Amino acid sequence: MRDSRITSLLQRLGIKETNPGATTGAVNGWLNTSGTPLVSCSPIDGKPIARVIQASRQDYEAVADRAVSAFHRFKMMPAPMRGEIIQEIGRVLARHKEDLGLLITLEAGKIISEGQGEVQEMVDIAGFATGLSRQLYGRTMHSERPAHRMYEQWHPLGLVGIITAFNFPAAVWSWNALVSGACGNAHLFKPSSSTPLTAIAIQNIIAPVVDRYDIDGIFNLVIGDRNEIGNPMLSDPRIPLISATGSTSMGRHVARTVASRLGRSLLELGGNNAIIIEPDADLDMASDAALFGAVGTAGQRCTSTRRIIVHKGIKPQFCDLLIRKYQQITIGNPMEEKTLMGPLIDQGAGTAMADAIREALGQGGTLLYGGDRLTLKGLEGGCYVKPAIIEARNHYPIVQQETFAPILYLIEYSDLDQALVLHNDVPQGLSSAIFTGSMHAQETFLSHKGSDCGIANVNIGTSGAEIGGAFGGEKETGGGREAGSDAWKIYMRRQTCTINWGRDLPLAQGVRFKPSADLP
């Protein structure tokens, strides 16, 4: 795997054969880490790319201390000036879009266009955060007391912990760090152990900006395992907010640990996303959306389409169309432009997919397409599969779970009311969609009676959200919101202020409290 092209790519991104696992973000901010080695292997062929010396607990303490110190300086910088820094970070990321996107492909297994798209998402969120730096608005309120003025304002929280998953090793960092940075916070980034090199490349790319603006300690990276880094972050009272992306089981651990010290947690967890397909839907468009939603990133997105809830009258036609499109998918090396689906992240993901298919069939499902393991010449160390389509019932226990793999369950319904019940009858609540030409069906789906998810789309698939809207979901998805809209508020603390500009001291609610005798 380590041919001259890859060696050149790593060199351009400042990645060496052995990389340190902790940095304060500046060019010379890498620590002489003393932890154990971590080898980053490419899911493309299972071969090593580079080795990282993980941070130790002592490294973590040093970086956290420096981050807290840096925050006290950074919070005093006017927000529009912080926005200028974020804007410059966006520009430098754009200049490295091709290389960083290729590294994401190499380390996470995404196809080239998805790797490039993830970097573009970082650039877009930088632009959003730059504008946000001039819009951290508070409200003014009318006081019930004469000669009083009331208003609210927002202050930075402090040190924000960011824990990310392998499937979006760059974009999720930017959703948090760049928006939170505009708000005035410092950051401690713990990436997935499957994708440490992407995190190191990000630090290298932004380091000149950190140096230019003298903000060493604001964007920090600490690579390590749960015991040395993860759990200390969750328990650290210096970190008022932990933003964590991952499985529901991981989210429960994060929520319990952070809540035990009365900290805040922002959770982006599992999805079990469905598309409802009405009888009047454009089936060609709907099948395209289902294809990308289920197969994009090899089914390893939290917004991946897991269920198709299709009307019984069009089910045979839709199923035939979808299978024909599945048969056209090019599966292989994601570094090649023609590939539409790359590998699963590792062999364990392949085993989980096989187990889920076996359970679905054992519970009464019918395999309509795919599900096979593939052995590709020269890529034997990677985990390649044919995406699966399974006819199933919504109540099957395996259908109620999220399997992080390209398995699509096909579920039949009779009318829209039944479709909505089926749609909402899962523990997760992230993304949802309906394909229809009916305004009645569309508005029902978007009403209180309709989708219970944080994201609801009409004639668009479940996967691929824009950064302008708040991203996140309900129920076991965790309730967090990131990226657009007013998601910035989670990174700040609200303060209500009341000013008495008169010469009397009236109390609220008409309360009277005055000594009976005048003092001399």
* Cβ proximity of 241 and 160 under 8 Å: yes
- Dist CA 321 CA 281 (whole Å): 13
Residues pairing with 494 in the sheet: 154
Place of tokens 């290298």: 204
Alpha-carbon torsion angle 22, 25, 30, 34, nearest 10:
-10
Place of tokens 């020269």: 378
- Listed in sequence order, the residues at least 6 apart from 351 whose beta carbon sits closer than 8 Å to its beta carbon are none
- Listed in sequence order, the residues at least 6 apart from 234 whose beta carbon sits closer than 8 Å to its beta carbon are 161, 242, 253, 254, 257, 258
Comparing CA positions, the residue from 396, 388, 392, 443 lying closest to residue 420 is: 443
Place of tokens 């990310």: 164
* Cβ proximity of 173 and 189 under 8 Å: yes
Beta strands 470-471; 482-483: pairing state = antiparallel
* Cβ proximity of 476 and 246 under 8 Å: no
Q: How many CB atoms lie within 10 A of CB 142?
A: 7
Comparing CA positions, the residue from 89, 96, 100, 92 lying closest to residue 133 is: 89
Instruction: Establish whether 302 is a catalytic residue.
Output: yes
- Dist CA 247 CA 249 (whole Å): 5
Beta strands 373-374; 431-435: pairing state = unpaired
Buried residues in 208-225 as b, exposed as e (16+ CB within 10 A)? ebbeebebbbbbbbbbbe
Comparing CA positions, the residue from 405, 323, 330, 411 lying closest to residue 369 is: 323
Q: Which of 302, 319, 383, 453 is catalytic?
A: 302
449, containing H or E segment: none
- Listed in sequence order, the residues at least 6 apart from 249 whose beta carbon sits closer than 8 Å to its beta carbon are none
Q: Which of 114, 268, 476, 482 is catalytic?
A: 268
- Dist CA 316 CA 307 (whole Å): 16
364 φ/ψ angles, rounded to the nearest 5 degrees: 120, 0
Task: Outline where DSSP puts E strands in 312-365.
Answer: none
The residues that are catalytic are: 268, 302
